[in-house]
Amino acid sequence: MSFIRFIAVFTTLGVILAFPAVGQGHPAPDGFAELTKRLSPAVVNISTSRQVGSEMPRFPEGSSVERFNDYFGPDSRTQQSSGSGFVIDPAGVIITNNHVIEGADEVEVTFFDGLVLVADIVGRDPATDLAVLRVHPEQDLPAVTLGDSDKALTGEWVLAIGNPFGLGGSVSAGIISARNRDISSGNYDQFIQTDAAINRGNSGGPLFNMAGEVIGVNSAILSPSGGSVGIAFSIPSNLVADIVEKLLEFGVIERGWLGVSVNSVTRAVAESYGLGEAAGALVFSVGVDGPAERAGIKAGDLIVEFDGKEVSDSRMLTALAAKAKPGSKVDIVLVREGDRRTVAVEIGLLEQEDLDVDAGEHSNEAGGPQFILDMELAELTSDLRRQFSIRSSVKGLVVLSTRDSSDAATKIKVGDVIEQIAWKNVSSIKDAEKLAADAKKQSDRPVLIIVNRRGEVLRLAIR
């Protein structure tokens, strides 16, 4: 081999050897049989039943047609549903989704070997769609452990085990497609997205990594048909561990309350506040006599730190505020008129949340945006009128942002004022929620809205 050729080969090898190792996740397995055999006994089927009123008409007692009630059956009927769950404590502690057991009069758990036990509901948290059950077995149960979801990597192999369509134990495999997804299902979304096939009945079941650790609780799918299209979402195990620990200790979840409505910022807005990157949570309204108002926080403040932790966006502030202990005092660093200052806030107790939130409307009193018809709306204040140059005579709700890829995003601009929804005036968020919900119930057609755009009145139809 010539000297020049030797140098070329050596240099090439040197370049190859200089590259760092790629990825630190678990390697792709030769198969899933051994893992499935080991983990399946800890995965359970959960069936629930509850008594609901009959949908058939009932004739008054003593009337001439009372006898026809017999043809319509009893006044109530039993409604049954099914989902999945998994054992995390051999003594009988089980995790599942809240929506699997919500409203149930009786919960039964069927184990891998056919054993059936009645379960008690220890506690549930609708805000994160998690619930904890307890059964009382005669001997220890097979159990699995929660892993560290923060270490899960996009592209890493995962395994889902559950009870789709009531078929019994079923296994599907895939990869992690994305992390920290917000699908507007609630105030604390940070889902793991996976392409593993997850269908109706998988809810509450575990998502395993290749070490056999639970890194997520399967909770939702995105599907026009109701079946798997390869877009499923799991609650990350680190959030699960925190909620389950509190439910086991207290039976309920207490969340901190800051009393602000905030929005994430663009790079341009961040630069106007003297920041080099798009980070922080911009306050656009402050609750009357809430913790933030009492601490002196104002609309227009940009919150960049909460209790020593940097705030990357509005969702992070929401999560940090919710985790803070009610009654505790925390330091909040904010930017106001170019100056960086620290204020001490005594965290309040979030008394009530809107937990019945669908994918079209995302309400977050603790610090996140309010979405109606895929528009983030806010009630007009003097600060917002100045910010968007809205005259005092204009009435309605101002648009702060729109959901990406939505119909609203193609037609609505930030700073627009929504004056009417379905031909009726709107002056509050509650008005808008009701009008939008009523319009969607009455028809699948687009909803007509009246928009004031810097004095120009537009009539637009939003899907």
So which residues are the catalytic ones?
99, 129, 203
Give the C-alpha separation, 204 to 308, whole Å: 34
CA angle (224, 227, 231) in 5-degree steps: 75
DSSP E strands: which ranges in 290-444?
302-306, 309-310, 329-336, 339-346, 348-349, 371-372, 375-379, 397-402, 417-421, 424-425
The Cα 267–Cα 296 span in angstroms is 26
C-beta neighbour count of 35 within 10 angstroms: 20
Residues 6 or more apart from 98 whose CB is under 8 A from it?
A: 124, 125, 126, 128, 129, 130, 131
Residue 460 one-letter amino acid: L
Euclidean distance between CA atoms 178 and 152, whole angstroms: 10
**Residue 437 one-letter amino acid:** A
Spatial separation of the C-alpha atoms in residues 80 and 104, rounded to whole Å = 9
| CA pair distance 5, 11, nearest whole angstrom | 10
- The residues near 154 (Cβ < 8 Å, ≥ 6 apart) are 175, 176, 177, 178, 179
Residue 374, amino acid: D
108-115 contacts: CB < 8 A, separation 24 or more?
108/46, 108/47, 108/48, 109/44, 109/45, 109/46, 109/85, 109/133, 109/135, 110/44, 110/45, 110/46, 110/47, 111/41, 111/44, 111/141, 112/40, 112/41, 112/42, 112/43, 112/44, 112/142, 112/169, 113/41
| CA 243 to mean position of chain CA atoms | 14
Sign of CA dihedral 193, 194, 198, 199: positive
Residue 242: count of CB within 10 angstroms of its CB:
14
**Residue whose tokens read 């009382």:** 136
d(CA 191, CA 207): 12
Secondary structure class of 35 (helix, strand, coil): helix
What is the distance between the alpha carbons of residues 123 and 229, in angstroms, rounded to a whole number? 32
